[in-house]
Structure 1
Amino acid sequence: MTQTRNVLVYGASGYTGKLVAESLAQRDIPFYMAGRTLSRLETALGVVEERHGKKVDAALVSVGHDFRELVDLIQRLEIKVLINNVGPFMQLAWPVVEACLEAGCHYLDTTGEQDWTAAIGEKYGAAFAAKGLLLCPANSFMWAAGAMAAEVVLETPGIDSLDICYQIDNGLPSEASTKSFLRMVCNDVSQYYLEQNQLKAWPNDVAHLVSLPYRNAILRAHPWGGACEPIWFKDDPRVRNCKVLTAIGEHMIDGVIAAIKAFNAAAPGMSQDEREEWTNRMGDQMDSGEPPKDSLDVQRGVIVVHGQGRQITTSYVMNLSAAYTWTGDICAEGAERLLNGQLKAVGFQSPAKAFGHRELIQRFHERGFCSALPA
């Protein structure tokens, strides 16, 4: 292993943080595991080493969730890449992004929150670009995988409209994901799709029927917060329309719709802070503890992208399974490419644009996560 330690996993004691750490260890990248409580980090490192099968080159650091503390830590440790796993991101991640910008550090996170992605792109994208830094949210199954698959479809000249569907078998959301998805799906005014270059809001309490090319059954899907692809493609001259739905699983859809309807009944008259408190409280009630690590043979996922233009249509289906484990892997892949000087675009970027969609798909196919690129 190299002795240089320039990667910091923030929120490393959580479910996703441990998966990021494990993926970094698989690449022999030394890193810091950071969070507020040292004892939790020690426990998390033990889990990572047990999964990895040997000692891991990780150093533990405790830090408060505070802008100045984070700036000082990033500068003192000479961090080049920070991977943020602390969510819900719209509630908690502002000081982390601001600290990375102030300290001159690339920022990656694992969000699935559309409003967070849009907000940091608008507020900080130009500032990160001016410093030659990457601001890259959603290094995660949702919504990096769809962005990668969409870029394959957009290779066909004339395609200007994207219709994307994620389908997941046996999904087991973590505690942080549960709170994040509740604050997303209960947002009754801003789960957006892109239509004729304008963002328009989905109804939040409707399940849509979807037909997938590899299943006989019709499945129910939800906007699931709107996704990040409409945000990334909003100002892309190639794209006029972009819709994303997620077939989250028949074991979850009824409970999700019921929670949304309960929120809609309670929300009138609430302030935004009261709404966030409500969804956090519901998340605490729904939380069943940290789920087991997901499996390529159980938590299988597929992304279907249909593309249309004036005179042409095309489709691409990409298998990509074990969504949480792959989330850890794309974070580690992004960190490795940043350390190796393989960044393709600075500022606010999707992982697909930052690192190259074909390069990423090929890499993850080699690592056993996804189907191969089309011939």
Structure 2
Amino acid sequence: MSTDKPVVVYGVSGYTGRLICEYLRELGVPFVAAGRDAERVREVVEKIPGIETADYEIVGVENDAAALAEAFDGATVICNTVGPFIKFGPEVVEAALQIGAHYTDTTGEQDWVMAARDRWGAQFAAEGLLLSPGIAHMYTTSEIAANIALEPGGYDTLDILVFWKGLPTFASTQTIFTILKADWYYLEQNQLVAWDHLSKFDVTVPGYHEQAVAVPWGGMSHPIWFQHDPRVSSVRSFGGVLNRAVMENVGLTVQMFEEQIKPLEPEAQEKALADIAAGLQASMPPRENPRYNRSVDSVHASGPLGRSHVVIHGNSNYKQTGLLQAFAAFSLIQEAPRRVGFASACQAFGHHELLGQLRAFGLVAEPVVTRV
């Protein structure tokens, strides 16, 4: 079994996979909508607005490298949304490498980003393929802001804040609890330094008077993407949702993990965290409403003699993820990325190009830039 469609979206029965398919339809890209349960995938896809105008096929396949390679052979890009990625991602990456396809995913797991880089980055580079984990609002939109902030030159430190309003999806909730088991890092003078898991901060979110609570969210992807960037020596990233009560509970949950679950054996840890995550968000959240589901990405760049601050106000953070993934695939089927092997979205496609797409689809406002 193989396909004549250039793009595979794996994990379409989830919230984000559906949105990627929506934007692939809008960009006119033929795609395979895939998941472990073909009927469940079909039910989701058939509810996509305008799907009757799309060129697509439905595929059911187990999360096994050989099975995935057989089902997706012929594709140019695999967009993976099946997390937690540290648990389910290796098989998909192996399948992509086997069939000669570019690989992107929506991960928020810093340990997976590092594992993917170290295990497969060189192999993908040798084959002229892109390996880009973490193309998603919470990481890429703020990465765009960071690159704008760095443009004048002379800055060496990034302070990144990401906030959004809404409900996490089931997959996002699973990821949040999965990263509790990992070490988290920020970049300090070109060295990765471990966060204290109980770190939290009172922060001022641009556009809001009330202070919010921010946490490191597992370290986020930015310290890894910028680790070998000659412009930058220090990066800290943190964020949260625009609901202080929710974020206070996140802090309590992390504390509970450190005290009660961390001492358990790995199997018992995984079960306890999965049970908690399922209890918090077991169903698909409602479709985003731009009047409510807002996002704020704020980046301070600083150096010995200057400061730069960039804020990107947006809406519908999951739609931003869907569009970023779809545009990445759209670009990859037409031309080679700017960088092969392990690379972030901005490194592979350009931050102005990605910003242009988000602006064109009405998902972010013009960045607010202040330089001192």
Identity %: 34
Q: Which residue of 2 aligns with 1:205?
A: 198
Post-superposition CA distance 1:275-307 (Å, at most 9, x none):
333221211121241101112221100111001
Q: Which moved more, 1:280-289 or 1:5-14?
A: 280-289
Which of these residues, 55, 71, 74, is aligned with residue 73 of structure 1?
71
Q: Distance in 2 between matches of 1:342 and 1:103?
A: 17
Post-superposition CA distance 1:334-365 (Å, at most 9, x none):
00000110521111011011000011112211
Secondary structure of the corresponding residue to residue 199 of structure 2:
coil
Q: Which moved more, 1:349-358 or 1:242-251?
A: 242-251
Alignment of 1:196 onto 2:182: no
CA contact (8 A) 1:361 1:373 kept: no
Q: 1:209 to 1:151 in 2, by over 3 A?
A: same
Q: Distance in 2 between matches of 1:210 and 1:227?
A: 17
Post-superposition CA distance 1:167-193 (Å, at most 9, x none):
212x21111110101122x23x61211
Which of these residues, 241, 244, 247, is aligned with residue 248 of structure 1?
241
Q: Which residue of 1 aligns with 2:170?
A: 175
Q: Distance in 1 between matches of 2:108 and 2:89?
A: 13
Q: Distance in 2 between matches of 1:89 and 1:358?
A: 28
Matches within 5 A, 1:96-135: 96-135=92-131
Post-superposition CA distance 1:3-60 (Å, at most 9, x none):
9621011111111111111111111111011111121011011111xx2374432101
Q: In structure 2, what residue type is equivalent to 1:269?
A: P
Q: Which residue of 2 aligns with 1:290?
A: 284
Deviation at 1:214, TM superposition (A): 2.3
Q: Which residue of 2 aligns with 1:328?
A: 322
Secondary structure of the corresponding residue to residue 285 of structure 2:
coil
Q: 1:236 to 1:276 in 2, by over 3 A?
A: farther
Which of these residues, 62, 79, 90, is aligned with residue 83 of structure 1?
79
Secondary structure of the corresponding residue to residue 20 of structure 1:
helix
Which of these residues, 143, 151, 155, is aligned with residue 155 of structure 1?
151
CA contact (8 A) 1:113 1:225 kept: yes
Q: Which residue of 2 aligns with 1:309?
A: 303
Q: Which residue of 2 aligns with 1:362?
A: 356
Equivalences, count? 366
Q: Distance in 1 between matches of 2:262 and 2:308?
A: 43
Post-superposition CA distance 1:61-103 (Å, at most 9, x none):
111110111111222xx01000001001111111001111121
Any unmatched runs of 5+ in structure 1?
none
Any unmatched runs of 5+ in structure 2?
none
Post-superposition CA distance 1:224-275 (Å, at most 9, x none):
1111000101111111110011032224212212221221122343334433
CA contact (8 A) 1:222 1:248 kept: no
The two structures have a TM-score, normalised by structure 2, of 0.94
Secondary structure of the corresponding residue to residue 354 of structure 1:
helix
Q: Distance in 1 between matches of 2:171 and 2:163?
A: 21
The two structures have a TM-score, normalised by structure 1, of 0.93
Q: In structure 2, what residue type is equivalent to 1:66?
A: D
Q: Which residue of 2 aligns with 1:238?
A: 231
Q: In structure 2, what residue type is equivalent to 1:327?
A: T
Q: Distance in 2 between matches of 1:56 and 1:251?
A: 42
Secondary structure of the corresponding residue to residue 343 of structure 1:
coil
Q: Which residue of 2 aligns with 1:52?
A: 50
Deviation at 1:121, TM superposition (A): 0.7
Q: In structure 2, what residue type is equivalent to 1:213?
A: P
Alignment of 1:221 onto 2:208: no
Task: Output the aligned Cα RMSD.
Answer: 1.7
